[in-house]
Amino acid sequence: MNQVIYKIVNAVNDKFYVGSTNNHRERFRTHRNKLRRGTHHCAHLQAAWNKYGEEKFLFKVVEMVPEGNSLQEAEDRWLEEHFGKAYCYNAGKRSGAPWRNVAPENHPNFGRIVTQEQRRQIAEALRAHYAQSYFNHPRVGKTHSEETKERIRAKKKQNPQRFWLGKIRTDETKAKISRAQKDVPKKPRTYTEEGLAKIREVMRKNAREQHPADFDAVKKKFPSEVLDKYDFTNAVYQGALIRIEGCMCPIHGVFSQYAAQFRKGRGCPSCGALERALSKSAQMKQSWASEEGRSLFMANRTNVASSAP
């Protein structure tokens, strides 16, 4: 699955909820089910859903996060930019700490009394965490001499941004660094805003120019049963390689799908899963109706049971 940043957008006023996932179909299904039940953790989004109705909300993927990059850091950049604005439904500023910066009365623990035993457990857990982080640091227990500190200060004053700029490592030093880093897992690569801007500029420069066809022309190629079953009033078409957003299923609500799948007579993924389940059930019933089918089924079941550990 791809790492993505997604939005749940209110089509009436363009307000949105932003999140991240590596399985956006499952995450969209989870959000939709909780909102329908009225149990979503984001009270602001739940209230808007109740007020405007399910058909007014679109689920969109807005950024693909490359493998190896931190999905949490990517979501935090979005929250840093949009949290606290009138158009953002999110309650917290950090994906890892979703209730940070929330108004006290909106926090789920507001007014809750923490017992002395719970406080002791929390304190012990925090002490263990910080002690582990401290003792894993390579310079624990080591101190610089005053002479060394002075040399470091002088070097930093000369070039505070790039301490190693212009400095040449010896072969012995390179070999020592290589041995130290061998078989050590690397942290996900991070990019500065300037670096990302350069990458995007190069990608735009080298990308082929896209000319999406008119959606009305695309819809003409859909079978009549697809056009009769699904509502494309709020659909957003951006090209053949991008899912059509905002399609409406009369049973499962808003979904997205590729134009090629519609041309094949397919559509809502949830409807497809239901049809496959019914087809499988019918096949099994038909097979069980004959003596040969029952014997084959029981033989397969016996083989599976005997091969289990």
Residue 223 and residue 302 share a domain: no
Q: How far is CA 17 from CA 74, 90, 142, 276, in A?
A: 15, 6, 47, 32
Q: Does residue 201 belong to any structural domain of this protein?
A: no
- Domain containing residue 261: 215-267
Q: How many domains does the chain have?
A: 3
pLDDT above 80: residue 209: no
What type of residue sits at position 236? Answer: V
Residue keyed to tokens 């005997």: 306
pLDDT above 90: residue 12: yes
Report the b/e string of 127-146 with b at 16+ CB within 10 A: eeeeeeeeeeeeeeeeeeee
Q: Does residue 277 belong to any structural domain of this protein?
A: yes
CATH number of the domain residue 23 falls in: 3.40.1440.10
Q: Does residue 296 belong to any structural domain of this protein?
A: yes
What type of residue sits at position 262? Answer: F
* Percent of the chain residues topping a pLDDT of 90: 28
Among 64, 80, 106, the domain-final residue is 106
Instruction: Please give the Cα distance from 162 to 156 (Å, whole number).
Output: 8
Which of these, 85, 101, 90, lies nearest to 41 by C-alpha position? 90
pLDDT of residue 303: 60
Q: The dihedral of CA 242, 245, 248, 249: what is its sign?
A: positive
Residue 260 and residue 289 share a domain: no
pLDDT of residue 106: 67
pLDDT above 60: residue 254: yes
pLDDT of residue 296: 79
Residue 88 and residue 14 share a domain: yes
pLDDT of residue 17: 94
pLDDT above 70: residue 102: no
Q: Does residue 180 belong to any structural domain of this protein?
A: no
Among 91, 106, 121, the domain-final residue is 106
pLDDT of residue 1: 61
Instruction: Please give the Cα distance from 46 to 290 (Å, whole number).
Output: 51
Instruction: Please give the Cα distance from 181 to 281 (Å, whole number).
Output: 55
Residue 80 and residue 13 share a domain: yes
What type of residue sits at position 178? Answer: S
Mean pLDDT, the chain, whole residue set:
83
pLDDT above 90: residue 14: yes
pLDDT above 80: residue 156: no
Q: Give the DSSP per-residue string, the chain.
A: --EEEEEEEETTT--EEEEEES-HHHHHHHHHHHHHHT--S-HHHHHHHHHH-GGGEEEEEEEEEPTTS-HHHHHHHHHHHHTTSTTB--S-S-SSSTTTT--GGGSTTTTPPPPHHHHHHHHHHHHHHHHHHHHTSTTTT----HHHHHHHHHHHHH-SS-TTTT----HHHHHHHHHHHTTPPPPPP---HHHHHHHHHHHHHHSPPP-PPPHHHHHTTS-HHHHHHSB-TT-B---TTSPEEEEEETTTEEEEE-HHHHHTT---HHHHHHHHHHHHHHHHHHHHTSHHHHHHHHHHHHHHHHH--
The tokens describing 221, both together, are 């190629």
Instruction: Please give the Cα distance from 218 to 241 (Å, whole number).
Output: 13
Q: Does residue 30 belong to any structural domain of this protein?
A: yes
Among 81, 106, 131, the domain-final residue is 106
Q: Does residue 155 belong to any structural domain of this protein?
A: no
pLDDT of residue 94: 75
